[in-house]
A and B are shown apart, each in its own frame.
Chain A
């Protein structure tokens, strides 16, 4: 089984960011979208006290869920099973895909219709199902557009954010038989709706993600605006949901709290059109709903993050996307440049656990550590702190590298020597004095071109006289002050 997304995101990250920053249309599109989303979010939280209280509550709920994760997962499995929902555990993407293929074969399914699910992207499920000869169709409008274009989503909430209306109009006209070019958004949506409506009625299996799984009641909670998610989970005879093991919460009421944060942080909406609580397949006396409901709980490196005191916070994430909407780096390079399923700040901190630190270390360096992400994160994940830790882990030498997959893979002897010398310099005043004295003497030797630094800035040249020399000089005004006294 091949995994097209399991590439080496670090390898040509720099090249991809160059290409993205050079693409004027892309940058304009992202800038506009980010400004729009930031303004909409801000309008949803006019009261900072309410916002901070809610964030405290959200963080506490997520931390609590993680603190009792093993027990909650056990309880969840028990309740879901009692409700008639079949629970499957997958440690790797291959295992998750094998479980789906198994269901497909048993039901002799030919077509799968999908609601939005980032975890299914994470395991490259479309690819695997298509390779097995199934028709796989994305039904979220954004995902549908991206699929039609043969691309991957560039944002976890708004998959087609990188595409302009004109590009989508041209795409529909080119790919859909009998469709004329139109830039009318209502018309474009109507076209998509008509194509997909026929598919809903015919699909054998509906596939979806999960926003939260409630241990107490054995309920899958899904939110959406379009109604495609409800279609996927209701119309086909089989519904397969897939999610990460961290998405469990203890109580139903926790969902109510988290979902006051999720839509407002994500798209700046007060609430989604549909909040869908699924607690079982169709009962004998019911007239619709799927005959079978399955839940696949995927690990894929999450337990590694879980095992580390600091990295565990990564799993608090409710996938709202606010961190990317507010990230100055994401706004400039867009989602595709990251090369991972999850882009932006959350991508930089979660991907190392999914794909290994060695393969993803460049992502953690693509941050100015400005802290905007942590400031908006509804569940208070200390993202910059985790980025620094990841940078350290990537560079650590074998003696200091942790047990994290890929830790120390970007260790370089020269790099670590430079940093050791740097540390030495700053830890010993004598060395420091000597070095700065030397630098101010040798300032004429400072090169005019200093690599990436001088691309946009004037070169760094040591001052003629050090600060400490200036301080040592008797201050003229100080002398005057003393005579007055």
Chain B
């Protein structure tokens, strides 16, 4: 994943909320968008931290706060359903609790990944998780921050999607699920 320009931090089920607070503070993130009503959002709010990180739940349809989403949010947090070793990719399963734009619009994207859910390649992930039995309206497989090489083949990060991708690899049994 790091080859694809993502930042990876090892952590465990107990300490990831504090780690996010720490990284967010270091990156100057003031507002973090999270899925409304997820266990993770509650833990982030409860985490003991002395920073002023504003945890914003994604609670209303995008139509009511489009401008706010596009302009006022510094970062988003979502959970990966699994990951793919061959390409260093994260599988994001969107739905009512983790809307599609959560992982796309904010300039920095944090992802929680349970270290036990790693497949060899996309094909194996599809087969093991039986994707063809039923897909949500949108599945996104993310490999690194958004980028473009459209100007003279020079690679630049942060095209239209997030400029930074921060992966929190959660080890241990009681992982974030």
Contact = CB atoms under 8 A, between A and B. Distances in A.
A141 B150 contact: yes
Contacts of A278: 137-138
A275 to B, nearest CB: 4
B158 interface: yes
Contact of A287 (B67, B96, B150): B96
A162 B173 CA distance: 53
B117 interface: no
Contacts of B17: none
Interface in B113-165: 121-123, 126-127, 131-132, 135-154, 156, 158-162
A230 B58 contact: no
B126 A287 contact: no
Given A159-B150, A189-B151, A253-B127, A235 B143 contact: no
Interface in A117-151: 139-142, 145
Contacts of B145: 273
Contacts of A158: 149-150, 153
B135 A188 contact: no
Looking at chain B's contact residues, the main secondary structure is loop
Contacts of B121: 256, 260
B104 A230 contact: yes
A277 B135 contact: yes
A273 B165 CA distance: 11
Interface residues on A, range: 35 or more
A66 B131 CA distance: 24
B159 A189 contact: yes
B100 A185 contact: no
A235 B101 CA distance: 8
A234 interface: yes
B76 interface: no
3 shortest interchain CB distances as A-B pairs: A227-B161, A226-B159, A142-B150
Interface of A: 33, 36-37, 83, 139-142, 145, 158-161, 163-165, 168, 185-186, 188-190, 193, 196-197, 200-201, 216-217, 219, 225-228, 230-231, 234-235, 237, 251-253, 256-257, 259-260, 267, 270-283, 285-289
Given A141-B150, A279-B138, 18 more contacts: A36-B153, A83-B137, A158-B149, A161-B153, A165-B154, A185-B152, A217-B135, A226-B146, A251-B132, A256-B122, A271-B143, A274-B142, A275-B122, A276-B140, A283-B137, A287-B58, A288-B99, A289-B138
23 contacts: A139-B160, A141-B148, A142-B148, A163-B152, A168-B152, A189-B148, A193-B158, A193-B160, A225-B149, A230-B100, A230-B161, A251-B132, A256-B126, A260-B122, A270-B143, A273-B142, A274-B146, A275-B122, A275-B141, A276-B139, A279-B135, A279-B136, A289-B137
Interface of B: 4, 58-63, 66-67, 70, 86-89, 94-96, 99-101, 104, 121-123, 126-127, 131-132, 135-154, 156, 158-162
